[in-house]
Amino acid sequence: MIFYQLTINGMISPEQMEKYLISLMDNQWKGYFIKIKMRLLQQLKTMFNKYPELLYLSDDFRNECQIMIQKIIDNYIKQEQYQLRK
């Protein structure tokens, strides 16, 4: 389908072909960016799970803060997964 659109757009108007190629690249880079963010969030989550002492929190509220941070990271991961499926 992409080849067909490139051929048709290229034959009809080089300007349209250029716009189409730019839109393809934009979407591709957006996908790469989302994947990078997902990887970083997953690594951050792993780090907090393995090394909760890195939170540098007082022992009184450490568990509550860790749970809150995990929920925030989980929500961001869900949002990014949704963006990848779009």
State which amino acid sits at residue 4: Y
- pLDDT tens-place string over residues 65-85: 777 777 877 887 787 777 777
Residue owning tokens 């929500």? 75
- pLDDT tens-place string over residues 9-61: 555 666 776 777 777 777 777 777 778 877 887 887 787 777 766 666 566 77
Domain count, the chain: 1
User: What DSSP string runs through 7-41?
Assistant: HHHHHH-HHHHHHHHHHHHHHHHHHHHHHHHHHHH
Q: Give the range of the structural domain holding residue 25, as residue numbers without chain letter.
A: 2-85
Are 84 and 35 contacting, i.e. CB atoms less than 8 angstroms apart?
Answer: yes
By 3-state DSSP, what share of the chain in percent is helix, strand and coil, each rounded to 5? Answer: 90, 0, 10
* Predicted local distance difference test score (pLDDT) of residue 24: 72
